[in-house]
Structure 1
Amino acid sequence: MTLPAVLAVALLGLQAAALPGRDDPAILRRACPDYTAYASTPHAPYSGGPLNLPFQRPAEACRTFSSPAVEEVIDDITSRLVDKDLAQLFRNAFPNTLDTTIRWHTNGSTSSGTNSKRDGAQWTGVQTFIVTGDINAEWLRDSTNQLRNYQKLAAKDKSLYSLILGAINTQSEFVIQSPYCNAFQPPALSGIKPEVSTQKDTVHPAYDESFVFECKYELDSLAHFLQLGTEFYENTGSTEFLTDRWYKALETVLKTIDAESQPTFNTHGQFIQNQYTFQRETTIGTETLNLAGVGNPLNSETGLIRSAFRPSDDATILGFFIPPNAMMSVQLQKTAKIIKAAGGPASLVADLQERGTKLAKAVRDHGIVQHPKYGDVYAFEVDGYGSRILMDDANIPSLLSLPYLGFVEKSDTVYKNTRKMITNKASNPYYLVGPQFHGIGGPHIGLENAWPMSLLVQAMTSDDDDEIIGNINLVRNSSLLGLVHESINVTNIKDYTRPWFAWANSVFAQTVLKIAAERPHLIFGSNAKPYIV
């Protein structure tokens, strides 16, 4: 028996034994195995399917959050799934964020209502801190996507409602203090020690290392902050998150994207120093920006917003990165609708709507380019001078995910052309193919690893039954530990990165739920009725 398994058995024994302190949550949690190690080892009971996938949920006392509504969905879906291995993978993946990544949640009863001495933020009211997995830091993008599956349940489960409301409040503080940063330390009020980073970065604007884990400016991080609120409203009808602090965060977002919409040179051809610069001591080119941390020049008159890094945390080559611009255009317009519904300032509503509409037009005007084989397609990155990068990356937002983001319909001609381009090895250098796995990868991991996330997005943006179930099965077959990995080596599915990556598991569960609602026959059997959360 492995050490993690022994620890789990010991924990269960402590729960069952009539010992002093057996009901003390703190004592039980100290007995819990490290989940990164736990996730690297198979555990019983096994699925009983051809792959015999293991059960990878931690013992109940070790789970970081619980929801009766989530458990009900697990029971409903797994009882209907024909494929026992697929059922086991869903059983592990759907609750993975709740089971393992909620590091801190408070209803606000312990908050003083004053600024923290450590970080200057105002940790008042409900707060939630969520890590992505094996790093004890919160990424705005990851945490928003990790919670996405639970948004639909928040209206009927008060605990999930509170959890997501707290996440919005916490992200608001992160954005207010450091809008250029992508990953954050545990809030001071949580009592959790900051994660130590070994990176040597020179960043402007400067940031507090006790507050920020990493400060790569990624436009999609700000768009995801808006998305967390818009999805909460769409699923609950609640505008409770529209606090003074959230409005302050929104104001900060708008100031940031205005600053990042400026060109590299003014109308007289003189260099304008960008407000954000980033340099890292590294031998990896994608981990830093060239030209003394500025990045390659960008032209004026595009209406696009610069992004220094991609959602993979890799540096952009041409800073007008199309997918997050498309995402931001959608979220600005959705935010306008919420503020209008809440009776907010009419001038702000009009401003957000105009910004979103203009940005969507800019994406189409400058992001659509001519491909010699596929015709009009969306470029991955452009610079406003005529240069473009034709490729796609697995991380969301991506070109493949444009319908998923709500920017276009799946039937859109330019999107269909783009989809053909990026799912072909001959036209997308990061579409990786091997004897055991295939899919879109990216420079973050290398030239042999494709990401299961790309196959799941491909399934969610397809109308082809064979393509959908084929991609689902490929992810299932490569998830031999019962969890979805970050990336898979296309020549050997046993060679993977990250046994525990909550974002990927959330996307898998979301894909299954989408199929259950729209194409139930693919996973529940012929004549099956739709299952809608």
Structure 2
Amino acid sequence: MNTSRRNLLKWMAMAPAATLLSDGLLAGTAFGAPGKAGLVSQRPPLGKRKFTSAAVEKLIAQTKAKIGDTELAWMFENCFPNTLDTTVEVGTLRGKPDTFIVTGDIDAMWMRDSSAQVWPYVQLAKQDKALQQLFRGLIHRHALCIGIDPYANAFMPDPSAKSNLDWAQHDVTDMKPGVAERKWEIDSLCYPIRLAHGYWKATGDTTAFDDDWHAAMRTVLKTFREQQRKDGPGPYHFQRMSLIPTESQILQGYGNPTRPVGMINAMFRPSDDATIYAFNIPGNLFAVTSLRQLAEMLRAIRHDDATAADCVALADEIQRAVEAHGVIHGDQGDYWAYEVDGYGNQLFMDDANVPSLLALPYLHACEPNDARYQRTRAQVWSAHNPYFFKGSAAEGVGGPHEGLRMIWPMSIMMRAFTSSDTREISQCLTWLKTTHAGTGFMHESFDQDDPAKFTRSWFAWANTLFGELIVHLADRHPEVLRKA
């Protein structure tokens, strides 16, 4: 993130509610639940919503009825549909259904965010034809984007347009039309697979998995292989003139050296910050899961056993490499590193952005009760992690992207997602409820002692993820919501 974007988001954080209302970011209608005064719905009026789903509205009503706390119910109703209300454009492109989804306050589509933003609605798609059209369009768009440039993390609405992101105008990389930003992150190719697999499993619909999608998936496999860097650094490099060191990569944009042990090199983390050691462990473990999901789809839908076998072989190779090089041997047992280089150098930390070490079970990269994960989780949520912050308002994980003291609500959500301890989950809900600074929405980050100091008033992924958490708890731990 460059200085101008930081200024934009700082303005969003400090702007009075009236300004946001006049700009169409928020809108007020009376909140239907009885109880706490002043809780006005922050959803846009019905006629100004980007997309509506009868199935989503039904689930909102059903879930609200299970929440004992009026403020938490209000937050859920604001947050769960926020992606559909404010960020979705559905249409056609090149004769196919097309869905373009912005992150919120930035008019571009991140491969990661767009997939994660609609993930909670996958379970409802079978019963809602409008949602099916949305998902088909997004699967088509993802395939188109991968075909344009598998190394890019963000794209423009117009596939032939030049990037309009001011901070990306002078990047030293192989910029292509249609690309908004070109930071190579492993998860940018994993998330579209996760979404496609989830949609297929939920609906049985295979209409979006056409020849273009098939070609895009083969490109994913090719790109992962290239970034194992067994035969040199590969085609990707990236440099940016910036006062923020994490915005660029060293050594002519190819990053710190790694030994080719089988893992995938990533130049940037899910936070869009540069890696220190290019073998990012959460990203590689996510890739293992994604490759196995892709193999299943290629066999069942495209009858492409050869490429499916290649996916499984690569997943197995990465898994062996991660086990051999990505584990820290501590006094209390083994736990995962965050980044390594294959030469024996290891970095332990965690970053709130998903994939993270904390979120591994959420992404089905391991089981929640896995002993190594539990040891890793304890280290992440402690002073052993330099980006774990504990203040008077809350405790949680942040990252270099917004700096010290800044807790990301996303990390608190992931702690709740990966817990079966109702007391721990209740504490997470309390922190989330008391740190939204009266807005009714989740933010990118907030100060550990002062939630009124936050970044990003309109961050759709965090909003929808919060809604997903509440739906998850209504299904798995309804007693927590009744007592909340």
- Give TM-score, length-normalised by structure 1: 0.84
* 1:59 pairs with 2:59: no
The Cα RMSD (Å) is 2.2
> What is the aligned partner in structure 1 of residue 63 from structure 2?
77
CA contact (8 A) 1:200 1:280 kept: no
What is the letter of the counterpart of residue 105 of structure 1?
A: V
Q: Distance in 1 between matches of 2:76 and 2:426?
A: 15
What is the letter of the counterpart of residue 257 of structure 1?
A: F
CA contact (8 A) 2:29 2:45 kept: no
CA contact (8 A) 1:336 1:353 kept: yes
Which of the pair has more CA radius of gyration?
A: 1
Partner SS for 1:105: strand
Q: Distance in 1 between matches of 2:369 and 2:349?
A: 20
Shift of residue 473, structure 1, vs aligned partner: 1.6
Q: Distance in 2 between matches of 1:334 and 1:273?
A: 27
Residues 54, 180 of structure 1: alpha-carbon distance in 2 compared, 3 angstrom cutoff: same
> What is the aligned partner in structure 2 of residue 88 from structure 1?
74
> What is the aligned partner in structure 2 of residue 467 from structure 1?
424
> What is the aligned partner in structure 1 of residue 90 from structure 2?
105
| Equivalent position to 2:117, from 126, 132, 146 | 146
> What is the aligned partner in structure 2 of residue 161 from structure 1?
132
> What is the aligned partner in structure 2 of residue 405 from structure 1?
363
What is the letter of the counterpart of residue 407 of structure 1?
A: A
> What is the aligned partner in structure 2 of residue 18 from structure 1?
none
1:272-351 equivalences in 2 (<5 Å): 272-300=232-260, 302-342=261-301, 344-351=303-310
What is the letter of the counterpart of residue 282 of structure 2?
A: P
| Equivalent position to 1:423, from 381, 389, 396 | 381
Shift of residue 438, structure 1, vs aligned partner: 1.5
Shift of residue 53, structure 1, vs aligned partner: 4.1
Unaligned runs of at least 5 residues, structure 2: 1-14
> What is the aligned partner in structure 1 of residue 220 from structure 2?
253
| Equivalent position to 1:441, from 398, 408, 425 | 398
Q: Distance in 2 between matches of 1:3 and 1:89?
A: 19
CA contact (8 A) 2:171 2:240 kept: yes
What is the letter of the counterpart of residue 381 of structure 2?
A: T
Shift of residue 369, structure 1, vs aligned partner: 1.7
Shift of residue 99, structure 1, vs aligned partner: 0.2
Query: Deviations for 1:109-151, whole angstroms, at most 9, x for unmatched residues?
Result: xx5xxxxxxxxxxx33111000010001000000100010110
Q: Distance in 1 between matches of 2:314 and 2:388?
A: 34
How many residues are aligned here? 469
| Equivalent position to 2:335, from 372, 377, 382 | 377
Q: Distance in 1 between matches of 2:163 and 2:159?
A: 9
> What is the aligned partner in structure 1 of residue 144 from structure 2?
173
CA contact (8 A) 2:362 2:418 kept: yes
Shift of residue 448, structure 1, vs aligned partner: 1.4
Shift of residue 375, structure 1, vs aligned partner: 2.2
| Equivalent position to 1:432, from 389, 395, 413 | 389
> What is the aligned partner in structure 2 of residue 136 from structure 1?
107
Q: Distance in 1 between matches of 2:450 and 2:182?
A: 34
Partner SS for 2:251: helix
Residues 417, 348 of structure 1: alpha-carbon distance in 2 compared, 3 angstrom cutoff: same
Q: Distance in 2 between matches of 1:47 and 1:203?
A: 53
Q: Distance in 2 between matches of 1:328 and 1:3?
A: 42
What is the letter of the counterpart of residue 198 of structure 1?
A: W
* 1:489 pairs with 2:447: yes
What is the letter of the counterpart of residue 231 of structure 1?
A: G
CA contact (8 A) 1:279 1:289 kept: yes
CA contact (8 A) 2:162 2:179 kept: no
Query: Deviations for 1:45-104, whole angstroms, at most 9, x for unmatched residues?
Result: 4866558544210111111001111111111111221110110011001100000001x2
Further displaced range: 273-282 or 165-174: 273-282
| Equivalent position to 2:190, from 209, 220, 223 | 223
What is the letter of the counterpart of residue 446 of structure 2?
A: I
Q: Distance in 2 between matches of 1:466 and 1:364?
A: 33
Shift of residue 205, structure 1, vs aligned partner: 3.0
Partner SS for 2:451: strand
What is the letter of the counterpart of residue 131 of structure 1?
A: V
CA contact (8 A) 1:51 1:85 kept: no
Shift of residue 329, structure 1, vs aligned partner: 0.6
CA contact (8 A) 1:129 1:187 kept: no
* 1:34 pairs with 2:3: no
CA contact (8 A) 2:175 2:182 kept: no
Q: Distance in 1 between matches of 2:310 and 2:227?
A: 17
CA contact (8 A) 1:303 1:362 kept: yes
What percent of counterpart residues are identical?
38
Q: Distance in 1 between matches of 2:291 and 2:167?
A: 36
1:231-242 equivalences in 2 (<5 Å): 231-242=198-209
Shift of residue 384, structure 1, vs aligned partner: 0.2
> What is the aligned partner in structure 1 of residue 9 from structure 2?
none
CA contact (8 A) 1:304 1:359 kept: yes
Q: Distance in 1 between matches of 2:456 and 2:150?
A: 28
Further displaced range: 43-52 or 461-470: 43-52
What is the letter of the counterpart of residue 476 of structure 1?
A: K
- Give TM-score, length-normalised by structure 2: 0.92
Shift of residue 273, structure 1, vs aligned partner: 4.2
Residues 201, 274 of structure 1: alpha-carbon distance in 2 compared, 3 angstrom cutoff: farther
CA contact (8 A) 1:52 1:85 kept: no
Query: Deviations for 1:413-450, whole angstroms, at most 9, x for unmatched residues?
Result: 1111101101002x000001111121000000010101
Q: Distance in 1 between matches of 2:44 and 2:64?
A: 18
Further displaced range: 79-88 or 360-369: 360-369
Residues 295, 343 of structure 1: alpha-carbon distance in 2 compared, 3 angstrom cutoff: closer
Structure possessing the higher relative contact order (Cα contacts under 8 Å, 6 or more residues apart): 2
CA contact (8 A) 1:35 1:100 kept: no
Residues 6, 477 of structure 1: alpha-carbon distance in 2 compared, 3 angstrom cutoff: closer
Partner SS for 1:488: strand
CA contact (8 A) 1:168 1:241 kept: yes
Partner SS for 1:292: coil
1:192-231 equivalences in 2 (<5 Å): 195-208=164-177, 211-231=178-198
Q: Distance in 2 between matches of 1:355 and 1:198?
A: 35
Q: Distance in 2 between matches of 1:384 and 1:176?
A: 30
Partner SS for 1:326: helix
